[in-house]
Amino acid sequence: MYKKVLFVFLLFPFILHAENGFVKNTGFVLNTNIEYATEVLAFASIPEGKVFFLKDRFSYVFYQNDSITDSELMPHIKRKRITRSQRLDFVFHNANLNGKTELLLPSEENLHFIKQSNEFATSSYNAIKYTNIWNGIDIIFYFSETGSIKYDILVKPGAEVNKIQFLIDGANNIELKDNTLQIKTSLTEIKETLPISYQDGITKRKKVRKELEVDYVFEENILTFRVHKYNPQLPLIIDPWATFIGTPDSDQAEDVAMDNFGNAYVTGYTQSLNFPVSPGAFQGNSAGDYDAFVFKLNATGQREWATYYGGSAYDFGYQIKVDSKGNPFISGYSYSNNLFVSNGTFSGVFDTYILKLKNDGTFKWARYFGGSGGEFTVGMGVSKTDRIVIAGFTSSQDIQTTPGAFQAAHAGALDIFISVFDSSGNVLWTTYYGGSATDDAHAVNFDANENVIVGGETYSTNFPVSQGAYQSNNNGNSDVYVLKFDSLGNRLWATLLGGTANEDINGIAADTLGNIYVAGFSQGTDFPMIGTPFQPVKKASRDVILVKFLPSGLPEWSTFFGGDSTDVARALTITPDQFILIGGETVSSDFPIFGNAFQNTKAGGSDVFYAAFDTTGTPVFSSYRGGTSSEILLGISADTNYRVTMCGYTYSNNFPVTPGVFQTTYSGNEDVFVWQIDSTQGVPVDTTNKGSGDGIINIKNKSDIQVVYPNPATNHIAIKQDVSALKIFNINGEIVHIYNKVLYKNELLDISFLTPGIYHLEVVQSGVPNFYRMIVIK
């Protein structure tokens, strides 16, 4: 048995009493044109009319009989009967119409959920089931013991709740008041209160049920639902959502971070006096010309809290990360000498700051950092032990470097600075880094061993590289560089990489094996192509570059990625299953698109792009996202449940946002956008080798790589434990292979028959199944 987790929405018990059960249409239903209504699958009679069930909807037809006479003096003569009718449709919006629809007799399997609530009554056909009407979502219509029609919506693990959308057609008026849906027709009025929702799961092998809080969301005649406080440890995947955040003034998001509950923390800056901060915010009012902001959204795109952060001058939020407890760290730079801080003093023209908030938005600590010139923080990382690293560039000659710093003195026009702090904001080590010209750090992070990795651009001809570096000399204009320091601040290696034109790095991260990936752009045709690049030739003035470095500092592969115009990568992150995700903006009309893209064509001047690569540099998914004006993507983050959130800003009033989120309308000038997706969606998987299975799989996300190895895999895998049985499912939940024998610890298993994609493994040990995710690459 699989661990099953289901939502059931008990909706629209309209007190319309069924008389004869569900009746199959065998050819005796006619439409108003006196034609056979072959599109009708079944119907049920109710006192007020009938309910018809079609492939793409269910429809109420209400009847009302009125009597009139031909004579006012003799009303008892020549009475006429006039029947008025009105049809009300509930269309399955954006549904999968290829799913199975069937009439059901009572059975333990098909009416399991109805029986649990003791709400079915015997009739010729007790239920109608629409299977997979939305991907992974079934609907069962049935009769309660009081005779009213109800339906359950069954959402399987791995399906998306927000796919459930009903387009209501035929009503005279529809209003949503206090979470009560009021539907008025010319013949009747329906009032529908909140749906009942619950989540089933297994706790210590005992089934538990938890009722959930659900709200209606009704916009443009489309009814959908908002789920509150669901259990993020159970495999409920929220539909991709996108929201605006903004005012008629200038609002820009610079970075986003995720905790492991699907919450997204966004920082940026705003010019607005009425930015939508939450009641009781740490700083409820704007204090200067531009203020930084911090905004927390939950997994359904709703505001949890939001606050300003700023003083009397200009203040900007540029980076945000969360620690192991979901507390956000924010860094940026400030021209204000009166920021609310608990450590440090304002020292120069503008200084860097670090702010720590609790996950409820309350203040924890803040500090200035800088010298007598200016410091610009562009990169930030948080380690698994909650250390903080910031990096950027400075004109200050007097930053307080720590004893034994790799480079204690400022060397050029602008130098890189790197500084590591403990979780309380105390400096652990600080160093300059650079040559005699301008050197900028634009990306910094930790690897799994708490080594610090840094990337950016340098114009210096004497940039300090390590002995044996892959490239020792600047080849012209700005070249990119990658540095690696250990946790104590000792440099491990440094290398340049570039051609004769300008290059830059904007994102850096390390996988679980310590390999380092960087992304940015190149203006040159001679940027080094290493290994077997997916795109070896630059196509336009600027193309995305993506490079993989081994832990030793040698590049393993590099590739261009782009179309016929400007393409720039602004951010990079890595998912738990070791896919490299990048985002940025593109002006190309032929930007390479892979998989089931969210948007296949460019919509405006510049659109944002999102792309996923495997560890060999092969793209597995990419998509546009944008409206008819321009967008810039600046931040990307992934959680351990494979959700990905991106942010930036847009000038488009039709940027594609989703119903029911925090802000669905564009406010003007430039607005923040925040976009959350499931990173496994859209990745193409070959399913020609199909088996059976109902697709209800509870995945153990956090330990896939530790149990199944190698992961990603090519032709063989091994399991780090003895197992009594093993099943392999594809992404659709279909069984593609079964090992019905005892498999011993570390026994090599042949998977060469699997095509590239994402698979789920059911590993049975001592009779208990556990599920893991496996990536296959070729």
pLDDT at 198 (0 to 100): 47
> What tokens appear for 595 in the block?
């998989």
Long-range contacts made by residues 185-194, C-beta under 8 angstroms, separation at least 24? 185/62, 185/86, 185/88, 186/84, 186/86, 187/48, 187/62, 187/63, 187/64, 187/84, 187/85, 187/86, 188/48, 188/62, 190/12, 190/14, 192/11, 192/12, 192/14
pLDDT at 97 (0 to 100): 85
DSSP result, 754-776: SPSEEEEEEEEETTEEEEEEEEE
Confidence of residue 444 (pLDDT cuts 50, 70, 90): very high
Element (H, E) at 114: helix 112-116
439: number of Cβ within 10 Å: 26
In this structure, the chain runs to a length of 778
Residues 664 and 669: their CA atoms lie apart, in Å, by 16
The number of angstroms, rounded, from the C-alpha of 149 to the middle of its chain's C-alpha atoms is: 36
Tell me 11's DSSP state: B
**Is the predicted pLDDT of residue 193 greater than 60, yes or no?**
no
597 backbone dihedrals φ, ψ, rounded to 5° = -65, 150
pLDDT at 143 (0 to 100): 65
Confidence of residue 704 (pLDDT cuts 50, 70, 90): very low
**Is the predicted pLDDT of residue 110 greater than 70, yes or no?**
no
Q: Which of 141-145, 157-161, 176-180 is modeled with the greatest confidence?
A: 176-180
702: number of Cβ within 10 Å: 13
Confidence of residue 161 (pLDDT cuts 50, 70, 90): confident
Residue type, 683: V
pLDDT at 723 (0 to 100): 86
pLDDT at 605 (0 to 100): 92
- Could you give all domains of the chain from N- to C-terminal order, each with its CATH number? 7-228 (no CATH), 241-678 (2.120.10.30), 704-776 (2.60.40.3080)
Residues 756 and 714: their CA atoms lie apart, in Å, by 8
**Is the predicted pLDDT of residue 377 greater than 90, yes or no?**
yes
pLDDT at 688 (0 to 100): 30
Q: What is the pLDDT of residues 319-369, one digit of tens each?
A: 999 998 899 999 999 999 999 999 889 988 999 999 999 999 999 999 999
Q: Give the angle subtended at the CA of 773 by the CAs of 767 and 775, to the nearest 5°.
A: 140
Start-end of H helices in 683-764: 704-707
Residues 488 and 495: their CA atoms lie apart, in Å, by 20
b/e for 734-751, b at 16 or more Cβ within 10 A? bbbbebeeebeeeeebeb
**Is the predicted pLDDT of residue 235 greater than 60, yes or no?**
no
pLDDT at 420 (0 to 100): 99
Confidence of residue 77 (pLDDT cuts 50, 70, 90): very low
Q: Which of 2-11, 370-379, 728-737 has the lowest mean pLDDT?
A: 2-11
Burial of 194 (0-12, 13-18, 19+ CB in 10 A): middle
Q: 3-state class of 680 per DSSP?
A: coil
Contact criterion met (CB below 8 Å) for 727 and 762 = yes
**Mean model confidence pLDDT for the chain:** 82
The number of angstroms, rounded, from the C-alpha of 745 to the middle of its chain's C-alpha atoms is: 35
The residue among 587 and 753 whose pLDDT is bigger is 587
pLDDT at 709 (0 to 100): 73
Name, in order, each residue with C-beta under 8 angstroms of 300's C-beta and a sequence gap of 6 or more: 162, 226, 227, 228, 238, 241, 660, 661
Burial of 500 (0-12, 13-18, 19+ CB in 10 A): middle
412: number of Cβ within 10 Å: 19
> What tokens appear for 430 in the block?
């600080």
Confidence of residue 116 (pLDDT cuts 50, 70, 90): very low
> What tokens appear for 497 in the block?
């990489």
